Structure 1
Amino acid sequence: MRARFDPWFADYLLRIGNGTKETIEDDYVRLPDDILIGYTDNEESINKLIQEVFSSLEKNARSSAYMSTRAILSTTNEHVDQLNASMIDKFSGEEKVYHSFDSVDDDSRNNCPIDFLNSITPNGLPPHELKIKTNYHVILLCNLDPNNGLCNGTRLIVRTFRDNAIGAEIVGGQHAGKRMFIPRIPMSPTDDISLPFKLKRSNSQFV
């Protein structure tokens, strides 16, 4: 589904929130056909969604104004990774792949093989293999330097990259346009009860 961010859609959401929109069996709302993209093949549907939200991407990829007014929301990290992989292939800039350094606290017996650690992506951590390109938009995953605009959730555009740092431009807010370097720093998932150990991942802090 794609959202049409205009006064009509804002009013539509308000009517749903206020309970004045007609419902189906009190639990469901029928969405208008003009804001839907029908599901066919998984990859084909994703490409249609990207084309609808990011039309003229090649022409406007360097524009922070264009990119900052568009986003695709998803339900799980797995879907986010799939969308990111499809999106980045559509950018024409120079590419670099960063690999994380993973470890586990108090694992003196090496019970957690590195290959296994590399294969998981707990909530709040970037993937082990992070592919980026120049002009690609990313989101910061930690409070790195709040005074200079580098907070969890800050949107940035990748402008340059080195082996251990990424040069990025902040998009939006009072620090918009400011260029910053994002270093590799170790991160651990917060309160992830699905893991019986404490994973530490050192990578560029983006998704």
Structure 2
Amino acid sequence: MHECAILSTRNEHADAANALMIDRFPGKQKVFYSFDSVDDDLCNNYPLDFLNSITPNGLPPHELKVKRNCHVILLRNLDPHNGLCNGTWLVVQGFQNNSIDAEIVNGQHAGKRVFIPRIPMSPSEDLTLPFKFKRKQFPIRLSFAMTINKAQGQTIPNVGIYLPEPVKRCIS
């Protein structure tokens, strides 16, 4: 499975395809929920239900579903010297409440077992949010499907394209 991927134009399309695939993937599922907060929100202007419902670019989802042997992609540079870079593909080998045991499947560190911790993350300069958002979650997302942008620089022998809505043609 590390030699194929579904590419789509938007995160929400990739997330929908990933949700469908993980439900069909064999094995026992574990769901990890993020801890979301807003800096300097003393009056609680942003309810947790709202914060949990958003997934800014570059952040993992609030509800992360994984199963043993499913493929995920790393969203942050955790330890570049040991192969844990943004875009690294991993296979989940096991999980606890605060760590995921995984094996690197691409690059010079392929076959190496690693532990992925939950970490606090903020979106990079997301101009659509009027507040400073933080999410504590595992810095991974399922990689059955991903955006075309996330796949840049990857070597994927077999690719499917998922386009649930028309693609607009831009002429410059």
Does the pair score TM above 0.5? yes
Question: Which residue of 57, 61, 78 corresponds with 2:12?
Answer: 78
- After superposition, the C-alpha distances for 1:152-173 in whole angstroms (9 at most, x for unaligned) are 1100000000000100000111
Query: What amino acid maps onto 2:42 in structure 1?
Result: S
Query: What amino acid maps onto 1:136 in structure 2?
Result: C
Q: Distance in 2 between matches of 1:69 and 1:166?
A: 22
- After superposition, the C-alpha distances for 1:26-58 in whole angstroms (9 at most, x for unaligned) are xxxxxxxxxxxxxxxxxxxxxxxxxxxxxxxxx
Question: Which residue of 97, 106, 114 corresponds with 1:172?
Answer: 106
Match of 1:110 in 2: 44
Question: Which residue of 91, 96, 108 corresponds with 1:157?
Answer: 91
Q: Distance in 2 between matches of 1:137 and 1:146?
A: 19
Runs of 4+ in 1 over 4 A off after TM superposition: none
More strand by share: 2
More helix by share: 1
Question: 128-137 vs 86-95, which deviates more?
Answer: 86-95
Q: Which structure ranks higher in relative contact order (CA pairs < 8 Å, sequence separation ≥ 6)?
A: 2
Q: Distance in 2 between matches of 1:83 and 1:77?
A: 10
1:131 aligned to 2:65?
A: yes
Match of 1:206 in 2: 140
1:195 aligned to 2:129?
A: yes
Per-residue deviation at 1:89? Answer: 1.5
Q: How does 1:12-91 map to 2 (within 5 A)?
A: 67-91=1-25
Unaligned runs of 5+ in 1: 1-66
The normalised TM-score by structure 2 is 0.80
- After superposition, the C-alpha distances for 1:119-168 in whole angstroms (9 at most, x for unaligned) are 00000001100100000000000000100000111000000000001000
Match of 1:63 in 2: none
Per-residue deviation at 1:94? Answer: 2.1
The normalised TM-score by structure 1 is 0.67
How many residue pairs align between the two structures? 141
Q: Highest CA radius of gyration, 1 or 2?
A: 1
Query: What amino acid maps onto 2:116 in structure 1?
Result: I
Q: Distance in 1 between matches of 2:28 and 2:85?
A: 26
Match of 2:35 in 1: 101
Unaligned runs of 5+ in 2: 142-172
Match of 1:28 in 2: none
